[in-house]
Structure 1
Amino acid sequence: MEPYHNLLKLALRSLLAAAVRLRDTTFKFFTAVADTLFSLYFASCSMLPCTVDLDADSSSAATTVHFWIPGHRKSTRPALVLIHGFGANSRWQFYYQVRHLSKHFNLYVPDLLFFGRSYSENPDRSIEFQAGCVAAGLRKLGLERYSVVGLSYGGYVAYRMAEVDVAAVEKVVIISSGIHYTEEQKEEQMRRIGGEGIRDLLLPKKPGDVRKMIKLALYKSRRYNLAPDFVLQGFIKGISNNHKKEKLELVDHLMKKANAKPARITQETLLIWGNKDYVFPMNLAYQLQRHLGSKARVAIVKEAGHAVNMDAPDEVNRLIISFILG
């Protein structure tokens, strides 16, 4: 009987391993399908994928930035760059914006480093490096003048681009980004949203973490929280876990030091905030406006949270178009 018992145990182990592989494959399959659908949607908006190698002609660490660019650039339209926040790549975060905005602008949508298909061997995890890579990629694409929209983490990147390259950046839109943020405010906010669990919030490990992230980011989160666990697990395995080590380093660098007095950019700036933002409360918008002076104005969107571009996409799109074209 002993050989049969051993054979049975071996068969059960093999079945269990196969089930785990099938589960992981299912998770990744769902994410791959969703990613493909987002890509097809961007393509239907006359956008094309494009990869820019920044260090192809040098001996420095290789850096690649992936963009979605206009399929047919029109000289009558101004250029607009959309920079996403933490979480998924640009397609997942700007699908409510791309169709509407692409009718008014030559739209450029990069994936920040370690999101989507953008990657760097350089160990620098600073906002300055992210901003420099996006700007360098745009120059390689032949873009000399453009306005920029930055969402949450992407707001830090957009702000830095405006600070460093005044000649290139015309107007700036910052959405839900705590740029003018004191150390005391940072510590208080970390206590409110989970303290040291900020890493799990931005890079979730389990479906419960994803639900917490959705609830915190979206005021109108109910429809997204209806997603079953296997869908959320697919997001974790297929999107969030890609380049996880590097993303954690980005989080650590961002949280290391709050900048109470960032540089004062000179471009006209629009600050868009949801009045139900529990990540970066509304007062931070007015704090940044006071810092920037008369060239900055605040637009508060009612019944919208941190991801105001998803809670109230029509209003956000209208605000962006009116400001950039005004």
Structure 2
Amino acid sequence: MESTKLWHVISLYLSTALVIFRNLLLYILNLNQSPLLTKFMDAILSFYFRLCDLSPCAIDLDEQTTIHFWVANHRRFDKQSLVMVHGYGGNSLWQFLYQVGPLTRKFNVYIPDLLFFGKSYSKSLDRSDLFQAKCLSDGLKRLGVDKFSVYAISYGGFVAYRMAEMYADAVEKVVIVSSGILYTDDQRVEQLRKIGRHPSEILVPKNPDDLRLLVNLSMYKQNSLYWLPDFLLREFITMMYDHCRKEKIELAKHLVEKKADTNLPVLTQETLLIWGDQDKIFPLELAHQLQGHLGSKSRLEIIKDTGHAANMESPDKINKLVISFVSGCSS
């Protein structure tokens, strides 16, 4: 039995290594057309996700829409299921680098790419967070995941909130990180004035300076992109943002330009809100507003010296809070 398990692990490592080597050769052969280094990093991250016992899976919801997931290879019934929803700063591979290891050890993890990110796509013209939520929920049903908790970041928080609202019988607990779901029109106007540019120009950068600005707004601690050469940042933009650029911009515009929801439903699930005290995208006052709106079944945890990208700046604290809250253990 032990030898069989060992051979299974060795086979997995070898097959993944061969895939990476094959892709690397293809990238080298197409060096003039392809962002080599960032795509190689993407392959390394895919390899790491596989080591965490996840596999990629594409689900065709209909002839228009395909949702891509990373799914648990062996669902264990003594583990709870956790769906992890990324934000605008990349796809699921890049945003959950620091979460996937610790969380897959505790939960059956399912990580989708939102529509127009990674390998998820739709011909539909609907750009709402409601549509994103419906597609993710339909994909999870196809995977046989009937009960799950959800942990979501930034834009993903808008989607997770709608999932919890529309599918209350399926969603058990909700963790939302740095997501200004509840705001007034005046607060939105003031925040846009402070930023000085339309969010779609920042969330979907066109050049290295735009990307540096996005990271500067997202991070409180030192911005490590300033020392990276422009050609590397251009490669990252080509791979991460040029794909479905038009649709990503439309998503951002829909989110920013719609009127504030004065009748936002109160979730029935226990909800944990996590916020960096130095968030420049969604200021801390929005966290208190949302917590007040959700009431006694919610809790707010504020992480000191942390900006909007709390999952990147304070991953250990985020992981500890998510594990404790979802599993129901005391921290």
The TM-score, its normalising length taken from structure 1, stands at 0.89
Is 2:323 the partner of 1:312?
Answer: no
Residues 103/249 of structure 1: CA separation in 2 closer, same or farther (3 Å cut): same
Q: Which residue of 1 aligns with 2:49?
A: 42
CA deviation after TM superposition for structure 1 residue 313, in Å: 0.2
User: 2 CA distance for matches of 1:112 and 1:268?
Assistant: 24
2:164 is matched with which residue?
A: 162
Aligned counterpart, 1:15: none
- Which position in structure 2 is the counterpart of 1:5? none
Which residue matches 1:16? none
Shift of 1:25: 3.1
> In the TM superposition, what whole-angstrom CA distance separates every residue of 1:57-83 from its partner, at most 9, and x where no partner exists?
xxxx51000000111111110000000
Cα-Cα RMSD: 1.5
Question: Is it true that 1:33 corresponds to 2:61 in the alignment?
Answer: no
Give the aligned partner of residue 121 of structure 1: 123
Cα deviation, residue 283, structure 1: 1.0
> In 2, distance between residues paired with 1:180 and 1:24?
45
2:299 to 291, 297, 305: 297
Larger Rg: 1
Deviation at 1:31, TM superposition (A): 2.1
Distance 1:221 1:120 in 2: 37
| 1:83-122 deviation line (CA, Å, top 9, x unaligned) | 0001311110011100000000000000000000000011
Aligned residues: 299
Q: Using the aligned pairs only, state the percent identity.
A: 51
Q: Matched residue of 1:103: which SS?
A: helix
- Superposed, which structure 2 residues align to 1:57-68 within 5 Å? 61-68=63-70
Q: TM-score, normalised by structure 2?
A: 0.88
Q: Are the structure 2 counterparts of residues 206 and 152 from structure 1 closer, same or farther at C-alpha, using a change threshold of 3 Å?
A: same
1:262 has 2:264 as partner: yes
Q: CA deviation at 1:30?
A: 1.9
Post-superposition offset of 1:24:
7.9
Pairing 1:87-236 to 2, within 5 Å after superposition: 87-196=89-198, 198-236=199-237
Deviation at 1:223, TM superposition (A): 2.6
Q: Secondary structure at the residue paired with 2:106?
A: coil
SS in 2 for 1:273: strand
1:209 is paired with a residue of what secondary structure?
A: helix
Inter-partner Cα distance in structure 2 for 1:36 and 1:23 = 16
Q: What's the secondary structure of 1:195's corresponding residue? A: coil
Uncovered stretches (5+) of structure 2, i.e. residues with no partner: 1-28
| Greater displacement, 202-211 / 31-40 | 31-40
Decide whether the 8 Å contact of 1:149 with 1:172 is kept in 2. Answer: yes
Shift of 1:215: 0.7
User: 1:180 touches 1:261 (CA, 8 Å); kept in 2?
Assistant: no
Q: Confirm or deny: 8 A CA contact 1:27 1:233 kept in the other structure.
A: no
Q: State the 1:124 CA deviation.
A: 0.7
**In structure 2, distance between residues paired with 1:131 and 1:171:** 16
- Describe the SS at the equivalent of 1:269: strand
The separation in 1 between residues aligned to 2:170 and 2:207, in whole angstroms, is: 42
Is 1:77 matched with 2:74? no
Q: Which runs of 5+ in 1 are unaligned?
A: 1-21, 56-60
Going from structure 1 to structure 2, the CA distance change for 1:101 and 1:121 (only over 3 Å counts) comes to: same
